[in-house]
Amino acid sequence: MTDHALRLLRQDARLAALAEFPFNFSLARAEHGHVEPVRLASGGPLEAVAGDDTGGTYFVCGDGSVLYADSEGGAGIIGSGVDEALEILIGLPGWHDCTRLSPQDGEEGILAYVAEVEREIREECGISLDAERAELRAALGFPERSPVELVRMLHAALARTEPGFVLLGAEEGGAYDLIGPPPPPVWEPVLATGRGDLAALRAGDTAVWEAMAADAVRRRLALRAAQFDRREGDLELLRRLLRYETRSSLTDELRLAAVLVGLHGRAEDLPLLDEVRETDFDTACGLSEIPRPGADPAELRRWAQDTDRLFFGTDPADEPLCTWTDLALDQDLTDLALVALIRRFDAIELDQSLLRRSDDPSSLDTGELSALADDFERLGEPVQAERARRLYAALQDRPRH
């Protein structure tokens, strides 16, 4: 994560010229800036240090990571520092094409692909490439690395882009597309703690059980993890979590815990569910449809199945985005929540059919835009909030068919 190589390029015109051609890392192009004003969604600093002949820009971020932004609206981290980024650029002069590779492609496949890309560069530029690479590597003190290792380094760097290094157009606020592989779905990092806690609860970890009693966020996450990993042997665990969750009164997770218990269809759980319902006024109203003690256990199971279909289910992709962004914010995963909300709004802005009502496809439900505006305000993003409000107002004025 040093800038040793950058200092050498700035001090030595011969090395700077080699970096510019044939490796397309031009210090002089940094003076012109990027094709548009940009900023990081996380709010961190950006310094343009180089550019290329396609209109792309190399930025150094606050932690030293190098972010490349192309002129077509794509961006990604390509190194933990300028030294690493330059190692990759010099070793993989066709690195843009190599972003579609991953370590899973295997050594033979990677070597063949890189060789073909370099053959095309040699023919186009009329150079040996090997001599220039050897000279620049030696001058900058870089070791020789195989294309396989360099692809692994590039892939690992690109995977760090979201959420901490997502680039936005500073004026309009839209997010740049990711260069390279897509990130995991938002629920995977959100549920990571809950999945770990659920495994510990199943193993009988007393320290985690004590934390569940006192930590509402961890409790919610564990229940959400149980929603998507249902096991027959979890009934006693779910009963205990249900009792703990009454301390938060009526929450979505309290209803979820009741449903997960009810799905087992045990008559002995009816008194427990009745006790939970009578916790306070809110639970009495929100859980009023739970069958009373003495009811047929099959009735309990039917209630749980119907409520599960209406509110929950087993696929995290079916959950509304706010489930995951709220849980992210509860864990101080602010960048993750903000980026997910921005990308959702960007998608709606491009395709307003995403707002179509399921019960009436001829009309739009614009309530999500109001909710997005509120979320952006809460996150201190007035530009994003205004974007959402503008689209909301425009859709109110649109004639209905």
pLDDT means over runs of 10, the chain (401 residues): 85 96 95 94 96 96 97 97 97 93 92 93 87 95 95 96 96 94 95 98 97 96 98 96 96 98 97 97 96 96 98 96 97 97 97 91 92 96 95 79 50
Clarify whether residues 126 and 72 are in a common domain.
Answer: yes
CB 265 within 8 A of CB 259: no
Instruction: Bin 273: left if φ > 0, else alpha if -120 < ψ < 50, else beta.
Output: alpha
Q: Are residues 193 and 174 in the same domain?
A: no
Same structural domain for residues 228 and 255?
yes
Contact 335, 164 (CB under 8 A): yes
Among 154, 178, 202, the domain-final residue is 178
Statement to judge: residues 14 and 158 lie in one domain: yes
Tell whether 84 and 104 lie within a shared domain: yes
**Alpha carbon distance 156, 363 (integer Å):** 43
Q: Are residues 96 and 201 in the same domain?
A: no
Segments forming the whole domain that contains residue 47: 4-178
Write the DSSP symbol of residue 174: P
Domain tally, the chain = 3
pLDDT at position 1: 46
Residue 338: both structure tokens together: 């903000």
Cβ pair 153, 147 in contact under 8 A: no
Query: Position 135: which residue type?
Result: E
Amino acid identity, residue 177? D
| DSSP states of 196-209 | HHHHHHHTT-HHHH
CA distance 295 to 287: 15
Nearest CA among 386, 373, 334, 375 for reference residue 43: 334
Is residue 253 classed exposed, middle or buried when 0-12, 13-18 and 19+ CB atoms within 10 A define those classes?
Answer: buried
Is 41 inside a domain boundary?
yes
290 plus 343 within the same structural domain: no
8 A C-beta contact, residue 222 and residue 241:
yes
DSSP letter at 292 equals P
The whole-angstrom separation of Cα 350 and Cα 352 is: 6
How many Å apart are CA 33 and CA 102, to the nearest integer?
Answer: 31
Residue 229 and residue 213: Cα distance in Å, rounded? Answer: 21
CB-CB neighbours of 325 under 10 Å: 24
Which domain-ending residue is among 178, 203, 220? 178
Query: Would 245 be classed as within a structural domain?
Result: yes
Give pLDDT, residue 32: 87
Query: Residues 215, 276: one domain?
Result: yes
Query: 261: closest CA among 274, 249, 250, 251?
Result: 274
What's the half-sphere exposure (Cβ side, CA atoms, 13 Å) at 262? 30
Gap between the Cα atoms of 179 and 181, Å rounded: 7
Residues 17 and 155 in one domain: yes
What 274-281 contacts at long range (C-beta under 8 Å, 24+ apart), as own/partner pairs, is 276/242, 276/243, 276/246, 279/246, 279/249, 280/249, 280/250
**Count of Cβ atoms closer than 10 Å to residue 303 Cβ:** 21
The pLDDT assigned to 2 comes to 59
Judging by beta carbons within 10 Å of its beta carbon (0-12, 13-18, 19+), is residue 78 exposed, middle or buried? Answer: buried
Looking at the fold, whether 81 and 196 belong to one and the same domain comes out as no
- pLDDT at residue 215 in the model: 97
Q: What is the pTM of this model?
A: 0.92
294: in domain: yes
